[in-house]
Amino acid sequence: MSASALRWPKVAMAAVFRPSLVRRLLVAQMLLLTLLWSIGFAYLLFQGARPLLQSHRIYETINAIADELVDDPARRHRVLTRAHEAIVDEFDELNDPKPSFIVEQRGQVAYRSPQAPAVVPSGPLDEEYPLRIDGVGYVAKTVMAPSGTRTTFLAQNHGMNVFITIFSKSFYLLPLFISLPFLLLPAWLSIRLAMRPWTGVAREMTARGPQDLSPLAYRGGHRELAVMVDAINGWMRRVRDSSERERSFVADAAHELRTPLAAMLVNVEALKADARDERERQLMAGVMSSGHRATRMVNQLLRLMRSEAHGADPVERVELDRLLQDRLAVLSPLASARSVELELSAEPGLCVAAQMTSLESLVDNLVENAVKYGPVGGTVRVMLKRAGGEAVLYVTDQGPGIPPALRGRVFDRFFRDPAQREPGSGLGLAIVKAVLDQLGGRIEMRDRHDGTVGTVGTVGTDGTSSGLEVAVTLPLADASGARASLAPLEPQT
């Protein structure tokens, strides 16, 4: 049996037993319907044969028949028997045993219907009264005609027996079994329609980016949903205020640290020049190395705060090939210090609508990481090409790469590969991710095995990787500077 065939039952079971508000409301509606149905039947049980006892016309009709046929007992018996059968047919579904009646005429019993007790009841006229005959409870009513003819109707006051009769004849369960399946779909549709405002709020939340903390645009008057939306808006407002305070604090602290760090490095450089022996020069070199690391971290924090700040710099139309040429020229001293060769292959005419400083931070961090974590004397290749309506930037190094298990975490602030020995702040890729979130871009990392750029490599004969390739995808801008969806073109190699 295939894995998909085995997975379907698990998916179906999860869908059935997973908590659902729609299913909860649907079950509540069906339970309410059952309760109302039960209350209705309880009322019928309470009433029993009382509608028959309260029908005065039936008494008058039976008394009139008895008076009319007083001189023909045989015919009177046949007619009253037919009358009893008609009454039984009318009340057959709700009464078992069937109601019975006794007709008294001229002081004697003129007619006794089947199942009627042998005892002639006596009680107040025109009123229902209980009586007990041979241990069986009855409700009776006697009506007397002007001629003196008396008709007494009796119905057993059997309480639970009526319920058992109804239950055994499916008068209770059968209508429920028939009606509930037909009511499920209308009930489900009504619940779904009633929950459309809720679904709209959920859809708005799903469509938002991770940085969008603006209030929800819900304008409905539904009281329960408004309470939830107000709570969510209040929570997002608190998160936004807290994030703003955090960014302001980090930015202010970084700005304040830059000046004393720069002054310290100048003074240490002067002291190093005046050092009298090798030990003092080594100590000063260590201090300068730590100062440069601190300065780099401060600059990275400033870049991160700038990349997360909306509207800090104007959005402009940036030509990516020129930007890459400028940034590689700026980073060439860093590459020369490690004897790393920078190679650039950029397709011209690809433009992105973005903040210039954000794109500079993105390129600088990717190339700096490739230079720093690659081998001394290695090569860092940078390629830019079009893929449909997007620009794809490839940065490939010859370093040890990043383990696949850690590639989802390297974008977290201050996270670094535990096996990495090169100094760093753990902020570079966090800055790249923040810029891409603003631009609507995406990033992908994969091992390079064949030494080429922009194609999927294969494992070499020794099974080792020849570096890490980072692919950054950015939406292209149209002539006006806005992001555009261009017709797909064949990627250039």
Claim to verify: residue 122 and residue 217 sit in the same structural domain: no
d(CA 432, CA 149): 106
Claim to verify: residue 181 and residue 43 sit in the same structural domain: yes
Does residue 201 lie in a domain region?
no
Quickly list DSSP for 404-460.
Answer: GGGTTTTTSTT---TT--S---S-HHHHHHHHHHHHT-EEEEEEESSS-SSS-----
Does residue 490 lie in a domain region?
no
Each residue of 232-242: pLDDT tens digit?
888 888 888 88
**Following CA atoms 84, 88, 89, 95 in sequence, which dihedral angle do they give, to the nearest 10 degrees?**
170
d(CA 454, CA 392): 9
Does residue 236 lie in a domain region?
yes
pLDDT at residue 107, as a whole number: 82
Average pLDDT over residues 265-291: 79
Does residue 59 lie in a domain region?
yes
Claim to verify: residue 297 and residue 330 sit in the same structural domain: no
Each residue of 74-91: pLDDT tens digit?
998 999 888 888 877 766
Claim to verify: residue 100 and residue 141 sit in the same structural domain: yes
Output 260-267 pairs: Cβ under 8 A, ≥24 positions apart.
261/291, 261/294, 261/295, 261/298, 262/295, 264/291, 265/291, 265/292, 265/295
Say yes or no to pLDDT of 277 above 50.
yes
Q: Which domain holds residue 147?
A: 50-158
Location of structure tokens 């003092």: 280
Does residue 373 lie in a domain region?
yes
Say yes or no to pLDDT of 192 above 70.
yes
Say yes or no to pLDDT of 408 above 70.
yes
DSSP at 350: -
Alpha helices in 274-312 (DSSP H): 278-308
Claim to verify: residue 106 and residue 92 sit in the same structural domain: yes
Average pLDDT over residues 242-256: 71
pTM for this predicted structure: 0.47
Claim to verify: residue 83 and residue 145 sit in the same structural domain: yes
Say yes or no to pLDDT of 306 above 60.
yes
Say yes or no to pLDDT of 58 above 80.
yes
Average pLDDT over residues 285-293: 76
Q: Provide the mean pLDDT of the chain.
A: 75
Claim to verify: residue 367 and residue 276 sit in the same structural domain: no
Total structural domains within the chain: 4
Q: What angle do CA 126, 41, 161 make, to 5 degrees?
A: 75
CA 394 to chain centre: 36
Helix (H) or strand (E) holding 68: helix 56-68
